[in-house]
Chain A
């Protein structure tokens, strides 16, 4: 494959297209969803987010949210784990449950003909999960294997170290899955508490696309979500990158080195966010980006290098990632530093801006390529507190950006002396500092 596709932070950036006639649907009990009706295929897709995520769990319950989320489909209501899965299969419903630092997310895509019984399964998973001891033990052992894998995976090792540098004592610094020790101390009762904390009706965000009317959806919203509790926990405080510039090396027995790098970034609600987004496209996303041209196309030093804005809910980072052979990583890092300095000092050219605008506006509709993708865009927009007409205006926002806007944001955002690299591998010619 010519490019390794990377998937990150789809939520905050997701936006889009022409076919999107979005309706705001509010249920009797006051739960709101954004809906796009699409009656041409007899399926319905839901994307459901709960703000808060793993970051709001107590520090002595590290890993509880991730484990709890994995247990939602392992027994609920009258069903044990097997029965719940069998019922899901019989309806050919597709559910997935996931947790991140900022949210718990649930995707459901179901057949129209099985809409009600499928939603009943989802209702009990969200409101009546059982956390049976036997399922708890089984899924905890699975999470242990995830933690063990992260301890030997270069990307995970680098990412984890970078987060510690970036966030210090803030909950964002913790791993999502917990540690072998922290989850060994958890109990099914902790799962019940994590569930009450993480899945609350006042922090819910819902996007729906498919063969369903606003009236049907309004009723479903109450049926599925009305029994959820209100929030009792606080969303975590804002934070920003703690560490300054430097290089950390983590030894790993590998023929190549992985580099994770970055410094403080920009929040999604910053007035300059779109300018920063366009600037980063020129810097480090796509074939024509400066990083890709200099490091891969001209010199063949890597299969993949990219940079990205990482807009957490409570912090912003400007980051990048690359791998290169142990012999070449030092040269590749020097090139990244050079590009960082060039961007900070000189900004971008008119030609680069125009090309970026053409790509970003032209490719926007490509994101709307399935019901599930559109549902997650609808939920992501709400999560980022963007207006319901955002999709219609987004390309205008991108086109309104000027070279001056980008140069202003570049001189503020891009800080060569603050750039911190974490290298995992056996890099040659690099001393940690």
Chain B
């Protein structure tokens, strides 16, 4: 899913339970290296069954952009035991829903279904982990579907095209600069061999994480996992994920993107920013709180208060940061100016707000309200089985541990005004940034 990293932006719901109540979480690891997490939720006889692979678009070989996402589609074709086209048909026939998503750092497959069918879901998911069967015709048809997906989600949306251009400018070397769905001219060339090579290299139990959430007993889940996933052979081709890294950024980059379909021009700036790392999450926690302070909530946030209330030049403002990624990610701010306000003026005023924030620091009352919401988000998270499952899957697939996940709310709660200021001074380095103007064709 192309947008998945952005969706995490600013959502404090990422935090994990440690306060009043906690989700009951059990973990185990199979002998072949497959990790597993069980999250109990006994309110309804339903289960979410997910398998996450530690591979995403940023792991693709040069020239093969889109292969991770294309393979995700092809994983529904069939296996040596499941005839072509029957995978989703079987699940639908049992009243289940299934889907999958691809990000820069992971690819995940899931079913939501009545608990009694959990074993069959494991049988089927284990089957397609090692025994996928593809043919030329299915590959060609699905490639057309993916090209349609790109047309629908990217090429038809000037905001998405703009976002691709900005990412390509922000990352000079790292593959976060290449869209998850892939560049069109490279998708067009992807073939059966590319898909199978990628599959055979990365799809193995020692590169996978099982997440089961719902009305289940963890011991029973473990027994089922041992029976179905435990028999799969690990791959010896799985190595540490080493990707190209960024050289020093010596010059701020700027771009103007014109498109006839733009309705509301805006200015947006992204800075390279550190991410959560195992045993070292405090800077990411401070940046998470910083994003909330600057632009988390409209009128009560720093940008909103300044540019929507006091000097109301903007229709909308915001800040975003995705803490949970494998490699350094981005911290961003944006302003959508109102009618008659130029992007130049909007950018200048945005900069003034950031400068003043660096001088004055956060309002203690706002900090307190954000902390209250962080604590509450842990209680609300208990009502969101799918969200909890994704929290664990995403974090584990980028190398964080269960302990890191458990500590994250504490990390957020421990952030002080000084931490926020130190993180802000560090991240707001213009050389590390890309500033973009999205404009309507034919305007200045």
Residues on A close to B: CB < 8 A? Answer: 1-5, 17-19, 38, 40-43, 45, 81-82, 85-86, 89-92, 94, 109, 111, 138, 141-142, 144-145, 148-149, 151-154, 252-256, 258, 286-288, 296-304, 323-325, 355, 358-366, 368-372
Which one of B20, B99, B297 contacts A85 once the chains associate, using CB atoms below 8 Å?
B297
User: Which of B73, B148, B338, B377 touches A324 (beta carbons < 8 Å)?
Assistant: B148
B276 touches A (CB below 8 Å):
no
**Most chain-B Cβ atoms within 10 A of its Cβ — which of A82, A89, A324?**
A89
| Cross-interface CB contact of A361 among B95, B377, B383, cutoff 8 Å | B95
Task: Determine whether the beta carbon of B372 is less than 8 Å from that of A90.
Answer: yes
23 A-B Cβ contacts within 8 A?
A: A1-B100, A1-B102, A17-B44, A18-B44, A40-B43, A89-B370, A109-B383, A138-B308, A145-B264, A149-B264, A152-B262, A253-B260, A254-B156, A256-B148, A256-B156, A286-B92, A287-B89, A299-B144, A303-B149, A324-B148, A355-B89, A358-B92, A365-B44
In the complex, which residues 47-104 of chain B have their Cβ closer than 8 Å to any Cβ of chain A? 72-73, 76, 85, 88-89, 92-97, 99-102
- In whole Å, how far is B287's beta carbon from the nearest beta carbon of chain A? 20
Q: Which residues of B contact A302 (CB under 8 A)?
A: 145, 148
Q: Known contacts A2-B72, A19-B43, A296-B145; decide if A148 and B264 are in contact (CB<8 Å).
A: yes
* Contacting residue for A145 out of B102, B113, B316, CB 8 A: B316
Residue B298 CB within 8 A of the other chain: yes
Task: Select which of A142, A300, A366 is within 8 A of B97 by beta carbon.
Answer: A366
What separation, in Å, do the CA atoms of A365 and B1 have in the docked complex?
26
Q: Is B361 in contact with chain A by the CB < 8 A criterion? A: no
Complex Cα distance, B333 from A257, in Å, reads: 33
Give the A-binding residues of B (Cβ under 8 A).
1-2, 20-21, 43-46, 72-73, 76, 85, 88-89, 92-97, 99-102, 112-114, 140-149, 151-153, 155-156, 260-264, 297-300, 305, 308-309, 312, 315-316, 336, 338-339, 365, 368-370, 372-373, 375-377, 379-380, 382-386
With contact pairs A92-B373, A366-B112 given, residues A141 and B338 touching in the complex (Cβ less than 8 Å): yes
Query: How far in angstroms is the closest Cβ of chain A from B21?
Result: 7
Q: Which 8 A-B pairs have CB atoms at the shortest separation, nearest pair first?
A: A362-B95, A300-B144, A92-B376, A303-B149, A1-B1, A300-B141, A89-B369, A256-B151
Instruction: Count A-B pairs with CB separation below 8 Å.
Output: 193
Cα–Cα distance between A304 and B140 once the two chains are bound (Å): 17
A41 touches which of B72, B95, B140, B383 (Cβ 8 Å): B383
**Least CB separation from A355: chain B residue:** B93
B112: chain A residues at CB < 8 Å are 366, 369
Contact B114 A154, beta carbon cutoff 8 Å:
no
Query: Known contacts being A2-B76, A323-B148, is A86 close to B95, with CB within 8 Å?
Result: no
Assembly CA distance A359 to B96 (angstroms): 7
CB-CB under 8 A for A82 and B261, given A1-B2, A17-B44, A300-B141: no
Q: How far is the CA of A81 from the CA of B112 in the complex (A)?
A: 40
